[in-house]
Amino acid sequence: MLAAVGQNKDVEAFEALFRHYGPRVRAYMAKLARDGQGTEELMQETMLAVWNKAHQFDPARGNVSSWIFTIARNLRIDAYRKEKRPVFDPTDPAFVPDDVPPADLEFEGRQEADRLRRAMETLPAEQLELLKLSFYNEASHSAIATKLGLPMGTVKSRIRLAFAKLRAALEERA
């Protein structure tokens, strides 16, 4: 029967094959898939593949039943892999490259940071401490005054003096 389908595309022979193997393939797929709609689709895909590939069947390599069920098994494996494959999301943060600044801007930023660090090293210790507390630790002026036991005006004036000295040092080196 399969030879007639392969050589002549004999519709009657295929109908006989379909009536015989269709329910068996459906039962096989039902056992593997446990999905009514998927089972029917896989059975039809299998029988369509049998129709399209019947000319490739070689009786010397095995019997018709084994050949048909091998096609069914391979189609089921393909369907399973498609089900389990995650959907590609191009906006997933894992696939979006980080914003990397151009090398020249990064280099300039490092140079500016180095200039600022050297300028800060020229400040008196009490002014440097106030800047670190205010900007690195984000402490308020009143919290700094309380912590160091200084009047609020002294804290503010020392921070202003530190800014003036930094500005002067940075302008000299520019």
What is the CATH number for 9? 1.10.1740.10
**pLDDT at site 150:** 92
Per-residue pLDDT band for 42 (boundaries 50, 70, 90) equals: confident
Q: 64-86, pLDDT tens digit by residue?
A: 888 888 999 998 888 888 777 77
Based on the fold, state whether residues 19 and 76 are members of the same structural domain. Answer: yes
What is the CATH number for 161? 1.10.10.10
Per-residue pLDDT band for 103 (boundaries 50, 70, 90) equals: confident
Number of domains, the chain: 2
> Is 107 contained in some domain?
no
Based on the fold, state whether residues 6 and 80 are members of the same structural domain. Answer: yes
Q: Which residues of 42-52 are buried (b: 16+ CB within 10 A; e: fewer)?
A: bbebbbeebee
- What is the C-alpha to C-alpha distance for residues 40 and 69, in angstroms, rounded to an integer? 15
What would the two tokens of residue 83 be? 């089900």
Based on the fold, state whether residues 77 and 18 are members of the same structural domain. Answer: yes
**pLDDT at site 8:** 74
Q: 133-171, pLDDT tens digit by residue?
A: 998 899 999 999 999 999 999 999 999 999 899 888 888
Based on the fold, state whether residues 11 and 80 are members of the same structural domain. Answer: yes
Per-residue CA distances from 113 to 106, 107, 138 (Å):
11, 10, 19
**pLDDT at site 161:** 93
Based on the fold, state whether residues 71 and 144 are members of the same structural domain. Answer: no
Full residue range of the structural domain in which residue 140 is found: 123-173
**Lowest-pLDDT range of 38-42, 90-94, 116-120, 147-151:** 90-94
> Is 20 contained in some domain?
yes
pTM of the predicted protein model: 0.47
